[in-house]
Amino acid sequence: MDPPDTREIGGLLRSGKARLLDARRTELSLESRFDLAYNAAHALCLAALRRQGFRPAHRYLVFQLLPHTLGMGAGVWRVLDKCHQQRNIAEYEGHLDVTERLVLDLIEACDAVRSALE
């Protein structure tokens, strides 16, 4: 466990909010919007975990620990976990198959995390 670093947490929050804003830009490709929203979610969830002094060893933990870090319900972290799986398929197998509905659900989950952090 590390003491919370307000500068690091602030940077993660700024990054997450900026990416979330860009993910809403419908003129971007669906794949780009997914990537932006996924990285926004990761930054915001990591900020929540870092705020409590934890530094996870695995990327997916930031989503699975949301019930503990922010009291988020299963509906939010399940969307984020599904998106993490999609991201891994894209990164490691070169195949990204996302829908508009998934991107909108991801943005909505990000909004819930952002609101809980504020």
pLDDT per residue as tens, the chain (118 positions): 778 789 999 999 999 999 999 999 999 999 999 999 999 999 999 999 999 888 887 888 889 889 988 999 889 989 999 999 999 998 898 888 899 999 999 999 999 999 999 8
Torsion of Cα atoms, 33 then 58 then 60 then 35, to 10° = 10
Burial degree of 79 (CB within 10 A; 0-12, 13-18, 19+): buried
For 98: left if phi > 0, alpha if psi spans -120 to 50, otherwise beta; the answer is: beta
Q: Where exactly are the structural domains of the chain?
A: 6-117
Look at residue 87 in the predicted model and tell me its pLDDT.
Answer: 92
User: Quick one: pLDDT at residue 22?
Assistant: 98
pLDDT at 60: 82
Count of residues in the chain: 118
Class of CATH domain 6-117 = mainly alpha
